[in-house]
Amino acid sequence: MSRFLLRRFIYGLAVLWAVATLTFALMHVVPGGPFDREQRLPPQVLANIAAKYHLDDPLISQYLRYLKGLVQGDLGPSYKYIDRTVTDIVASTLPVSALLGILALAFAITVALPVGTLAAYYHNSWTDRLCLFLATLGISLPNFILGGLLIWIFSIQLGWFQAGRLGTTTSIVLPTITLGSSAAAYLSYLLRSTLIETIGADFIRTARAKGLNEAIVIFKHAMRNSISPLLTVLGHLLAALVTGSFVVEYVFAIPGMGRFFITAVTDRDYPMIMGVTLVYSTLLVSANLIVDLLYSVIDPRVRSH
């Protein structure tokens, strides 16, 4: 089992190296740069900038310098925020995004568990159809429209929550709902279909036949066997939350990593773009590694593959 995990770990590192190399190459192909102004800077200034950031070095030595920095946890200097490194910026913005992501995930699970279970239990009834309808609505409603709608109803019309000012406890409520809604819909959908399959299985019939309480059959027998397939989508879910955070942080003016990434793209702050991309892929690779780990603990058959 440890050999299986070691292989996955090395593979994960290889993916990260590939991502680092690809983004590095990409950022050096892009025309234009962060120091292009409408009014051209004096040549002496440009030369100084190039010297400071080693922009005149051969590409290969820039690449090696970048990789060496990465190994030491140094993502390089930000071209836009002269006094801060990319690592600094990530260190101060990642916790904000992470908190939002965790809250959104918690919200999604809290909604998905009852909705998915109800829909599966009353399969093909109007309850099921209502749950499916709601889930399809949730998947189809873009984050920015839901966010706008919630702000319009709850901050502008009712004045219950302040939008765009983080720090108070209530100000996180609307962003959490906005970010978590599509994940909630997706998870309910998935839980419903795995549960329907499990409830139809023979061991559930056996459990019912021996006269077990219906609640125990559903929550103990069926649920336990339906949760593990949900683990596989953890990576996918995390990717969706990252994507969502770009929008939600933009809409609610939250100073998280997604918002900084978007500004970095408009500012053409290449080290920042590369750094954030790497942080996101590290998160995803780790999530997939954790899934592999959990999976091989839950399901021994995986180990032999």
Partner 1 sequence: METEKRSRGLWRDLRQNPAALWSLVFILIIGLSSLLAPLVSPYGAGGLDVAHILERPSLNHWMGTDGLGRDLFTRVLYGARVSLAVGIGTTFLALFIGTIVGLISGYARPLLDNLLMRIVDIFYGLPDLLVFILLSLILGRNIVGLLISLSLVTWVRFARLTRGEVLQAKELVYVEGARAVGASHPRILLRHILPNITGPIIVTLTFMIPAVILAESTLSFIGLGINDPYSNWGTSWGTLAQDGWRAMRTYPHVIFFPGLAIFLTILSFNFLGNTLRDILDPKGKLR
Could you say whether residue 142 binds partner 1 (CB under 8 A)? yes
Indicate the burial class of 305 (C-beta count within 10 angstroms; 0-12, 13-18, 19 or more): exposed
Q: Which of 227, 262, 289, 302 binds partner 1 (CB under 8 A)?
A: 262
Q: Which is nearer to partner 1, 23 or 296 (CB)?
A: 23
The verdict on 71 binding partner 1 (CB under 8 A) reads: no
**Residue 148 touches partner 1, criterion: CB under 8 A:** yes
* Calpha distance 180→141 (Å, rounded): 12
Q: Which is nearer to partner 1, 11 or 53 (CB)?
A: 11
Tell me which amino acid residue 103 is: L
Give the nearer residue to partner 1 in terms of CB position, either 64 or 145. 145
| 136 touching partner 1, by CB under 8 A | yes
* 280 contributes a contact to partner 1 by CB under 8 A: yes
Helix, strand, or coil (residue 73): coil
Q: How far from the centroid of its chain's Cα atoms is residue 112's Cα? A: 18
233-252 residues in contact with partner 1 (CB under 8 A) are: 239-240, 242-243, 246-247, 250
Among 90, 100, 195, 284, binds partner 1 (CB under 8 A): 284
Cβ proximity to partner 1: between 107 and 246 the closer is: 246
Amino acid at 159: G
Tell whether residue 141 is a contact of partner 1 (CB under 8 A): yes
- Restricted to residues 91-130, the positions that interact with partner 1 (CB under 8 A) are none
Query: From CA 123, how far away is CA 197, in angstroms rounded?
Result: 11
220/113 Cα distance (integer angstroms): 14
Residue 26 as a binder of partner 1 (CB under 8 A): the answer is yes
Shortest Å, Cβ 305 to partner 1: 15
SS3 200: coil
Query: Residue 75 to residues 12, 88, 150, 231: CA-CA distances in angstroms?
Result: 19, 9, 37, 31
Residues near 130 by beta carbon (within 8 Å), at least 6 away in sequence: none
Q: Is 225 exposed, middle or buried (0-12, 13-18, 19+ CB in 10 A)?
A: middle
Stretch that binds partner 1, among 18-26, 43-51, 102-110, 120-128 (CB under 8 A): 18-26
CA angle 252, 258, 260 (to 5 degrees): 95
Q: For binding to partner 1 (CB under 8 A), which residues are involved?
A: 15, 18-19, 22-23, 26, 29-30, 132, 136-137, 139-145, 148-149, 151-152, 156, 193, 239-240, 242-243, 246-247, 250, 261-262, 265-266, 268, 273, 277, 280-281, 284-285, 288
